[in-house]
A = this chain, B = another copy of it.
C-alpha cells in the first residue's frame, strides 16, 4: 500500500520547513514591532460563518463536513470571519483600537495552479475601531515593512491602491444597474490579469455597453493623485464622494510621512474580489510580474455588523505564503538557512560513550545545541558527520579532557572537561 499527499497540499520536509519558518517568523517579528498582538481561532467553524458574508467564490471553495453531532462545519478558507466573531464576542471589554495579527493555516478547494494551492498560510493584519485612513496607511506600512525586511525593495514590489466607493460611484454614474454591481466588480477585478480585448468581451457579456466600458477605462486609468483630484472636480457624479477622494489624498500624504510612498502607486483598477470591502482597497504585486497578488486588503466597515455585532470601522490585509515564496525566489531573496548545531560531541577513546552522553545532556540543558553520533565509529568519520551537519565545532571527549575543533578555521584546543563545560563555546568563531 502506497500513500501520497492530497493534490494541492504540501509536505514540509526540513529544508522547506526552514523557509516556511523564516517567512512566518519575519511576519511575526514585524507584526509585533508595529504594535500588533497575535490571535488565532479554530481551524474549523460552523459552516454558516463562512457563507453569510463572503463572496460567491469563497463559499464555493469550502471543505465542509458534518460531525457526529450533526453540526455543519467547514475548514476555514480565511480567518476574517473568525476574527469578526471573536471581536463581537468581547466588543465591550476589548481596549480599542484593536490591532491584531494572525498566521493561520487556511484551506480552499480550488484547482491547484502556480501560486494557488488547497492549503496555505496567510499573514493577517487588522485594525478594528479606527475610522481614520491613518489605519489603512499603517496596515500598508506593516506590509511594506515585512517585504523590505525580506529583502524586497521598491523596485521589486508595488502596493497598488484603489477605492471601492469611488468605483461604485463611477459605475452608478455610468448607469450600471446596482443588481449587476457584484458581477461587474468581478470582471473589473480580472482586468489587470487579462488583455484589453478579453476585458472588452467579458464586460460586454455582463451587459455593459461601449460607453460604459469607456467610462470605466477613463476612471481606472488615472495614474496619480493629481489626476484623480482633477477627474473628481471635472465629473459631477463624483461630487457626492469628495470625502473619498480626500481620504485617498490624505492616505497618500501619510504613506509619504511613513517613508514608504516609493513602494506605493494609485491604481483604480484594484477593486478586490471579496464582497465585504467598503473603502480603500489595495493589492501588492511584484513589479513587472504577471503573477497574482502577493497580498490584498482594505477597509471593511460593515463586516462585524453583518456577523451580529455593532457597526464598527475595520481595515486590514492578508498575505499568502505561496505567491510570496515564488516572488522571493524570482528576486533571489531566499536566504541560506542551515541547521543550528553548536557542538558535535565525539567519543575520542574506547569506553568514552558514557562521557559523551553526560556531556551532551549537560550542554543541552545549558542551552547549547549539541549533537552526537549513534554509530560507534572512528573520530575521522564522526568529524565528517559534524561537517555534514554544519556544526560550529566538534568536541572530542575522553575520560577527563576534551579537544575542541573549530570547524570553520580548523583550529584545535585541548581543555579540561570541567573547564570546557563551564564555557563550552569559548574562543570559537561565529556560526557561518
Contact = CB atoms under 8 A, between A and B. Distances in A.
B39 A3 contact: no
A197 interface: no
Contacts of A189: none
A367 B43 contact: no
Contacts of A17: 37-40
Interface in A1-21: 1-7, 9-14, 17-18, 20-21
Interface in A337-369: 339-342, 354, 357-358, 360-362, 364-365, 367-369
Interface string A75-110: 100000110011011100001010010000101010
B3 A85 contact: yes
A73 B361 CA distance: 42
Nearest to A17: B38
A367 B33 contact: yes
B258 A360 contact: yes
Interface stretch (A61-69, A180-188, A400-408): A61-69
Number of copies: 2
Contacts of A35: 341, 369-372, 389
Indicate the member of A21, A71, A308, A360 with the most B CB atoms within 10 Å.
A360
Interface stretch (A45-53, A218-226, A275-283, A323-331): A45-53
Interface residues of A, number: 95
Interface stretch (A129-137, A198-206, A292-300): A129-137
Contacts of A14: 37-39, 100
A75 B34 contact: no
Given A3-B307, A259-B361, 19 more contacts: A1-B307, A4-B85, A6-B44, A7-B69, A10-B42, A11-B40, A11-B82, A14-B39, A20-B40, A34-B364, A34-B370, A35-B341, A35-B371, A64-B65, A134-B374, A141-B361, A141-B364, A253-B354, A260-B361
26 contacts: A1-B52, A2-B308, A3-B48, A3-B307, A3-B308, A5-B41, A5-B45, A6-B44, A6-B46, A6-B71, A7-B69, A12-B41, A14-B37, A14-B100, A17-B40, A33-B340, A33-B367, A35-B370, A63-B65, A68-B109, A75-B75, A97-B374, A105-B105, A148-B365, A254-B357, A258-B358
Interface of A: 1-7, 9-14, 17-18, 20-21, 30, 32-35, 37-46, 48-49, 52, 63-65, 67-69, 71, 73, 75, 81-82, 85-86, 88-90, 95, 97, 100, 105, 107, 109, 119, 130, 132, 134-135, 137, 141, 145, 148, 253-254, 257-260, 307-308, 339-342, 354, 357-358, 360-362, 364-365, 367-372, 374, 388-389
